[in-house]
Amino acid sequence: MRDILLGVNVDHIATLRQARGTSYPDPAHAAAVAEHAGADGITIHLREDRRHIQDRDVYVMAKTIQTRMNLEIAVTDEMLDIACEVKPEYVCLVPEKREELTTEGGLDVAGNLAKITAATERLADAGIKVSLFIDADKKQLDAAKETGAPYIEIHTGAYADAENDIEMKAELERIREGVQYAHGLGLIVNAGHGLHYHNVKAIAEMPEIYELNIGHAIIARAAIDGLEKAVRDMKRLMLEARQA
Ligand SMILES: CC(=O)[C@@H](O)[C@H](O)COP(=O)(O)O
Ligand SMILES: NCC(=O)COP(=O)(O)O
């Protein structure tokens, strides 16, 4: 069975920097450390409100990342223009609400099919691999396939935020069914949001999953153990789950 890949999201290195408006810590530096520790890719979310990752970070990391950049953006002309100028290897289209604390639901691809298909085609024409951040919902999975995007990222937030074991097991089953269904459609299936050291294995063991994008939990652990160890520990848990 093939190994599962880890995309490390360094947004919250930038959150620490923005808290004081200093020049440190630099997410570009964190990305280099994460790659040295075994990250297979670096994910950054350039939000419209620039609460953490700044435009400067995107342009700098486009030059410094040695693995590959997965740039998360909302489906707006401003963000699509930046993506087509920077040309990261991957763009993941995500929903955004300015008032949200973090990404809440998945993209409503079914309800915005023409708009998301047009954005997907524009990015693909720029040589970018497109992923759609969606819930494990068959209507959304079918719509994602229809857009022509080769990748999806299943939103694991409801699983991560489950309030009890019954709810967690139900969310896990919903994700498992969605992952299998999407794989059956020929989509390359990633997953992410809210994954941490105690809930990642149940997701990582799903053989159809290509990559997990994990940020907040790794950066939080890095504050205690250091980033290199935080990344290595997460990668080890994922590989143990896949080889079990
Ligand atoms: C799309 C996603 O799940 C992550 O990129 C998440 O958005 C991290 O950024 P925030 O913590 O700012 O939501
Ligand atoms: N798309 C998920 C991601 O990049 C990281 O999300 P999180 O681990 O910070 O919740």
pTM of the model: 0.97
Residue nearest atom 6 in ligand 2 by C-alpha distance:
193
Residue 95: nearest ligand to its CA?
1
pLDDT band at 98 (very low <50, low <70, confident <90, very high): confident
The dihedral sign for the CA sequence 44, 47, 49, 55: positive
Six token digits for residue 66: 């040695």
Ligand 1 centre to CA of 156 (Å) is 11
pLDDT band at 104 (very low <50, low <70, confident <90, very high): confident
Asked if 240 is an active-site residue, the reply is no
Asked if 196 is an active-site residue, the reply is no
Residue 153 CA: which ligand 2 atom is closest? 1
The dihedral sign for the CA sequence 209, 37, 73, 163: positive
ipTM for the whole complex = 0.95
Strand partners, 6: 212
pLDDT, average across residues 131-145: 98
Asked if 36 is an active-site residue, the reply is no
pLDDT at 99: 80
